[in-house]
Structure 1
Amino acid sequence: MTALLVAAARAIETHRPDSLAQDVYAEHFVRAAPACAHWPVRIQQVPDGDGDPLWGRFARYFGLRTRVLDDFLLRSVRTGTRQVVLLGAGLDTRAFRLEWPCDCAVFEIDRAGVLAFKQRVLTDLSAAPKAKRVPVPVDLRADWVTALTAAGFDPAAPSVWLAEGLLFYLPSPVETYLVDTVDRLTTEGSALAFEAKLEKDLLEYRDSAIYTATRERIGIDLLRLFDKGPRPDSAGDLTARGWSTSVHTPFDFTHRHGRGPLPEPNDALEGNRWVFAHKHRP
């Protein structure tokens, strides 16, 4: 359901006149799932428009995030990287909608059921990937490394990794293991982007407009899904291993693009950080 929420947000962003990201497939995922077939896919379908905390502000956040991470991936492949790994890929359609080099491979790791639903919708649309797309149906709690390498991933070649909307659902030791594993599977010239939350107390924002609207109107209780344990300093850990890292708030990119959420009181987005890391010679 969280993947469908983000897909609906991408659909709304796609149809905006000032769109930051285009995903023509997103609304088809929403319409194909009975539980959310009634959700809006255009801001004109939302009575309060951008004033709506869920389909206005929160959706705009996801639209901005999509654009920023699109740009990160495309910059990485322009430097010669030809392996892209999407951790917890969900309903990500980057293999279909971005302009990749013809010899690029996009590995999508997620549970088999999620990937099967996505494939069913894309097949009905006769969608064709713009790179070599390699679904890797495995739960990240299982041996995903073996599954990824068996699917053709080469640890000796540079790669770019993305963990979008993933780490804050994981217990702290699992996040640490995942980041350690990415470090182990990558060589010089590789890159990683991920989203983190820095709040000391997530429940401090339990009454924020975003969490309340998401819970009461579409039945997704994000605070129940997020892991509430202390978070590791994954950016610091990567820096200690020789990666260069930069940490940004989403609002940094709102100012850069002129569109997206701005800070507000009791803000569920206040602790969100987008981290970009590049691996250098040991």
Structure 2
Amino acid sequence: MPTPARGVRGGWSSRGGCVARLVVAAGFAVIAAPGLGFAPGSRTSEFARLRRLGLSASYDKDKLMNEASFTEGAMRSFQDLFKPKDAELSPEEIEEQLRQEASSAATEGAMQSLRLDVMSGEEDEEGMPIRRAAPISVLQSKAKQSLVFFAVPKEREELVTDVLLSMRIEAKEISERNLLLVPAIVDIPSKMLLEFPPNIRNAKLMRQKSVALPASSDGQAAAWGALLAAEFEEADEQNIGDQVRQMGLALVVRPDGSIVRRGVGRPQWKVVFGETDD
């Protein structure tokens, strides 16, 4: 089966069982063995040392500064020799990258026609919060809403409680960043969105104002089920289907509708905050 291509927008990855996207830098200044730190400011330190000598000695300062400039330039040229060239993608990797890009584009497009049940700020006669359906396209274009989806198979529904607990710890910053968490339980074989069991549906954690739910009326449940089941199938394509079924999957979507992360396990909020910042 194909492996994830390098540099793919919203590509899958995992680190320590949580969401992580790999960003590879092509160039580096020095090479260090594992466990060794980089020499701090190697170029700048040499320049500063020569400059201090010039200020304190009777040596020809102009000559010394010219030597320092030459040293700095020579070191830069020397380092450039060892910068690795960008590795060329094989035809198979290019094909896989295009497939993943197409998958992201399809999910992004399908999501725009779906709705979320969001908190209205009102309560019913029993004091329960009232939710109202809102199109994702409106939430993003008008409210500039960032979205984090966390979907689990029906065998792992307890993971929803875990992510809601983690969310409560970061509730203030999540609210300030205009971010909504959308938990969901999916029956992957039938591609159906499932209802939350009473212990989750009625929990106080579910009433957090930054929790939104996939709308289930007017055929929306089937559409949501198909979309999220397709994400589990995408994980299968990238050889991480078993991990995703055990730990859940997360999608981070910016207000412009672009998926910036697909990941294994519940989101690390500090990482999410950085990715949803403009």
Question: Could you state the TM-score of these two structures normalised by the residue count of structure 2?
Answer: 0.24
What is the TM-score when the length of structure 1 is the normalising length?
A: 0.23
Q: Which has the higher contact order (CA 8 A, sep 6+)?
A: 2
